[in-house]
Structure formats: structure tokens, C-alpha cells
């Protein structure tokens, strides 16, 4: 690990003031610290957000569940409000990594990191969520811009994510057994606005699968999802699964997600 300066501000203003030069926010450290230990990443300064109290919390606001950026995966998984309003989101959070990761890792850290196999990006895109930052509101559709890339500007702080409450939704993940990230993960959501299907683990960034959305808008059943054959063009292939395998798994996981959504 390269040496760095560490700061632990007590509020948002002090956090913003500390973000000078080559500084980065530190949330749960589950991705950033690992990358720094391996010398894959370095920063002059880490600005620890854990003492900034108003970045945590969960509330239902009209038709949305609003979750603070520093809320951990374990807190989302255990939240009675989330389990009632969007059980798919609580289940997704409860399936991330292991207990240590879930008790340290945060919603804001997960989406800022934009790992191509992470789970939360599928919920942000699948539910049509909005990312609130220190500067603006960013529609989920515009937030993930590529491999580990987002629309965030340097020093821009994610403060919360607002998830619209759907009629029916579920997330199905086919785990990479060693890392527990998604080899393929599919978030399916049905709301008054239509059907959305977001896929993680299969490309350089989370994406919507239009062929599945069209099929499920016409017939919201597991069979309709399974019948969709997606091309393997542009799909990731590696030692864990070929592009053809992952493409086939997208329809399989979508059908499992629809079955789970209908079974509630
Ligand atoms: C063994 C293991 C298994 C895992 N399995 C899964 C899995 O199954 N599914 C899954 O989705 N993830 C998984 N993860 C990743 C985990 O969810 C991390 O918690 C997450 O990716 C990063 O969150 P963090 O709070 O630890 O962020 P950090 O590691 O602290 O930060 C990550 C990045 O986000 C930035 N950042 C943090 N907070 C903010 C903010 N509020 N505003 C702007 N930028 C910010 C940081 O500067 C940094 O660049 C796993 C991790 C490990 C170690």
C-alpha cells in the first residue's frame, strides 16, 4: 500500500473541504482498501465518511424508498421499511458478499465503485432510481457510464439514492462461487410505467435488456423470459463462463426473477 493522508470529517461541509488534490472518499473500504493494498489504486488522501451522520438512514417518501449513501448492505437487508416496500432490494442487499462485507460495505460505495459484477447497479437501473449527490440528481439511466466509471465529477459526493416502489420486482443472481459477485444477475421490475430488466455481470457495465422487457411487457411469466434468446455479441467471456453461457444465463436468471416476483 502506498502511504496516504487520512481525514475523518464530522459533516458534509468539512468532507467537501477535505477533498482537495488527489483525494478520495472512503466509505466501507471493502473495494477501495482492497485495491489500495494491492497497489492497484493510490490516493494522496482518504476522506472517511463514517462520521458524517446525515448520510445514513432509510425512509419512505411518497412512492419512493430513500436510502442514505452510507447505509450498509446489512442495514438495507434488515430494514422493515425496505422489506415491506421493495422486498427485492432487501433480498439483493442480503445476498451481497458475506456478513463482513455486508456490515461494512455501503450503498454509495457500491454504486460509486461501479464494479461490472456488482448487485446494486442492477437495482438502480432496474427500478429506475435517482442518485442524489452533493451537486444534483442523476437518473440511474445516466449514472453508470462504463467499466468502473460513473457520471460523478471529482469530489462529488453521493448523498442518497431514491428508489421508486414497484408493483412487482425481484433480483436473481447466479453467483461466482469464489467472489460471490454476479456471474450474471438480473433485476426485473414491473410498475405502472412498464417492465424494466437490468443485467449485471455480463458486460463492462450494467445494462437494460430490451428484448426481455418487450417479452415480459406482453406476458409477465417465467416462460416468456426463458424463451428469449439473446445474442452473445458484446457479452463478457472469461474462465468462469463463456459469452454464450452468460447470454443464455441472462434469460434463465430473468425467468427466476419473474417467478420470485410472482410468488410474493
Ligand atoms: C469478498 C467480497 C465480496 C463481495 N461481494 C459482492 C457482491 O456479491 N455483490 C456486490 O454488489 N458487491 C460485492 N462486494 C463489494 C461490496 O459490496 C463493497 O462494499 C462495495 O463495492 C464498495 O462499498 P464500500 O462502502 O466498501 O466503498 P469503498 O470501498 O469505501 O469505496 C468504493 C469507491 O466508492 C467511492 N465512494 C464511496 N462512497 C462514496 C460516496 N458517498 N460518494 C462518492 N463516492 C463514494 C470511493 O471513493 C471509492 O472510489 C464484495 C466485496 C468483497 C470484499
Mutate which of 44, 97, 135, 153 for ligand 1? The one with the most ligand atoms within 8 Å of its CB, which is: 97
Residue with the smallest CA separation from ligand 1 atom 47 is: 25
Residue with the smallest CA separation from ligand 1 atom 27 is: 109
Bridging pattern class, strands 45-48 and 23-26: parallel
Which atom from ligand 1 is nearest to the alpha carbon of 35?
29
Task: Give mean pLDDT, residues 65-91.
Answer: 98
Q: What domains does the chain contain, in order, with CATH numbers? A: 5-164 (3.30.465.10), 168-263 (3.30.390.50)
215 within ligand 1 shell (Cβ under 6 A): no
Ranges of H-type helices in 20-159:
32-37, 73-78, 80-85, 87-94, 99-104, 107-113, 120-127, 140-143
- Using the predicted structure, report yes or no on whether residue 53 has a pLDDT greater than 90: no
31 within ligand 1 shell (Cβ under 6 A): yes
The pLDDT, as a whole number, for residue 192 is 95
pLDDT per residue over 201-210, tens digit each?
999 999 999 9
- Using the predicted structure, report yes or no on whether residue 232 has a pLDDT greater than 90: yes
The region of weakest confidence among 37-46, 94-103, 183-192, 213-222 is: 37-46
106 within ligand 1 shell (Cβ under 6 A): yes
Distance 108 CA to ligand 1 centre (A): 8
Residue 1: which pLDDT band, with cuts at 50, 70 and 90?
Answer: confident
Burial (CB < 10 A; 0-12, 13-18, 19+), residue 54, is exposed
Pairwise CA distance, residues 207 & 218, whole Å: 21
The pLDDT, as a whole number, for residue 42 is 87
Which atom from ligand 1 is nearest to the alpha carbon of 115?
21
Residue 200: which pLDDT band, with cuts at 50, 70 and 90?
Answer: very high
The pLDDT, as a whole number, for residue 75 is 98
Task: Give mean pLDDT, residues 111-134.
Answer: 98
pLDDT per residue over 143-154, tens digit each?
999 999 999 999
Average pLDDT, the chain: 97
Distance 109 CA to ligand 1 centre (A): 4
Mutate which of 41, 104, 112, 122 for ligand 1? The one with the most ligand atoms within 8 Å of its CB, which is: 112
Task: Give mean pLDDT, residues 154-162.
Answer: 97
**CB under 8 Å to 234, separation ≥6 — which residues?**
203
Residue with the smallest CA separation from ligand 1 atom 34 is: 109
What predicted TM-score, i.e. pTM, was given to this entire model? 0.96
Ranges of H-type helices in 95-189:
99-104, 107-113, 120-127, 140-143
The pLDDT, as a whole number, for residue 2 is 86
To 5 degrees, how large is the angle CA 222–CA 140–CA 55? 115
Amino acid at each position: 500500500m502506498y502511504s496516504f493522508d487520512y481525514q475523518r470529517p464530522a459533516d458534509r461541509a468539512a468532507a467537501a473541504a477535505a477533498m482537495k488534490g488527489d483525494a478520495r472518499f472512503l466509505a466501507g473500504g471493502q473495494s477501495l482498501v482492497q485495491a489500495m493494498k494491492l497497489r492497484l489504486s493510490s490516493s494522496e488522501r482518504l476522506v472517511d465518511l463514517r462520521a458524517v451522520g446525515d448520510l445514513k438512514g432509510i425512509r419512505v417518501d411518497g412512492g419512493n424508498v430513500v436510502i442514505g449513501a452510507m447505509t450498509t448492505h446489512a442495514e438495507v437487508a434488515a430494514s422493515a421499511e425496505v422489506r415491506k416496500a421493495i422486498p427485492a432490494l432487501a433480498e439483493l442487499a442480503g445476498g451481497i458478499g458475506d456478513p463482513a462485507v455486508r456490515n461494512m460495505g455501503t450503498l454509495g460505495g457500491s454504486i460509486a465503485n461501479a464494479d461490472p459484477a456488482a448487485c446494486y447497479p442492477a437495482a438502480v437501473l432496474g427500478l429506475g432510481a435517482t442518485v442524489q449527490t452533493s451537486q444534483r440528481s442523476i437518473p440511474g439511466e445516466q449514472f453508470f457510464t462504463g467499466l468502473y466509471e460513473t457520471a460523478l465529477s471529482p469530489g462529488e459526493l453521493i448523498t442518497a439514492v431514491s428508489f421508486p416502489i414497484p408493483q412487482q420486482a425481484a433480483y436473481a443472481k447466479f453467483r461466482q462461487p469464489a467472489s460471490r459477485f454476479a456471474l450474471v444477475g438480473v433485476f426485473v421490475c414491473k410498475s405502472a410505467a412498464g417492465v424494466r430488466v437490468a443485467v449485471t455481470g455480463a458486460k463492462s457495465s450494467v445494462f437494460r435488456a430490451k428484448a426481455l422487457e418487450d417479452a415480459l411487457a406482453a406476458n409477465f411469466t417465467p416462460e416468456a423470459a426463458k424463451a428469449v434468446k439473446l445474442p452473445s455479441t458484446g457479452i463478457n467471456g472469461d474462465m468462469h463462463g463463456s459469452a454464450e453461457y452468460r447470454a443464455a444465463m441472462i434469460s434463465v436468471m430473468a425467468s427466476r426473477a419473474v417467478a420470485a416476483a410472482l410468488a410474493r
